[in-house]
Chains A and B, each alone.
Chain A
Amino acid sequence: MIRARVSILPKRTVFDPQGEAVRHALGHFGLSGVERVRVGKEIELEIPGEGDPAEIRSRLETIARDFLANPVVEEYELHIEGLP
């Protein structure tokens, strides 16, 4: 079994109102002085580990770049476990 995780964050050049709301609330929690918070998402994909590893990696990269993340406003990292 191959497990791929795609971690997605809003780009630093983009204003993230959700991150800003969390940063503001951190002050109420007693942690002031946080300069910036970005809120993103993590997507996990489980796929059978059959097939050409290079092709699987390439397809996962395409899926991450062209669908799961929007490179106009988001940055992402792809982590793959279980690929030979």
Chain B
Amino acid sequence: MRWGVVVFPGSNCDRDCLFVLRRVLGHEAVAIWHEERILPPVDAVVLPGGFSYGDYLRSGAIAALSPIMAAVGRAARSGLPVLGICNGFQILCEARLLPGALLPNADGLFHCQPATLRVENNRTLFTRGFSLGEAVRMPIAHGQGCYYADPATFDRLERSGLILLRYCNARGEVTGEANPNGSLGNVAGISNEEGNVIGLMPHPERACEALLGSTDGLRLFLSAGSKEPVEEFRPSYAGSALG
């Protein structure tokens, strides 16, 4: 499996993603500068978290017009798996590869904390390693993660099972108290109709080693990047986080 991680000016989770893909999963992964016009040969693309272009205009709006995004859009429409994390999710919405938009958190605060997410659909490329209804843990770190879509679009997401993850409490219950940012329907992650493009606000790359409190994020990368059952995976290095 060969991954491409796009680097925008202001990306700050690109190295975390590359570390996880290379050192924890043992896959190939290349960094792709945003000014590239052609994607190198890769099996999947990650748009990492960060604050591309300082969140100027709107989060993700300027990055969505980067030369590489035209290539990512063409590849996504041809079926290439694309994973947008945090700012990457915002970029995918701004590029209209995913529906809706991410607004400032309803309480006006930046939230950097562990989050619990209920798996709402485990039949997609990136979520097949989870059980349906399972509560998984990954951190969030964002100021603009309040998912919004107009009522007709949101209804279509619900009916088509395109909502993959919702914020929930420790018992797996989707409640208002468990919603950190005011997202419609507690949405934390969605996919496109074809299932190859997904975006989520939580950071799976920060939940890939037991030392960091959760390995649930690893299962998301493994879902897309491995033919073997996710449970049988062993990290490629021998135990040390520093590899």
Contact = CB atoms under 8 A, between A and B. Distances in A.
A73 B176 CA distance: 22
Interface in A9-45: 10, 13-18, 20-21
A14 B148 contact: yes
Contact of B148 (A18, A20, A72): A72
A70 interface: yes
Given A72-B150, A73-B148, A67 B65 contact: yes
B61 A14 contact: no
Interface in B39-68: 57-58, 61, 65
A21 B106 CA distance: 11
A16 to B, nearest CB: 8
Contact of B106 (A10, A17, A67, A72): A17
B104 A18 contact: yes
Interface in A53-83: 67-68, 70, 72-73
A70 B104 contact: no
Nearest to B93: A72
Contacts of A14: 103, 148
Contacts of A73: 101, 103, 148
Contacts of B107: 17
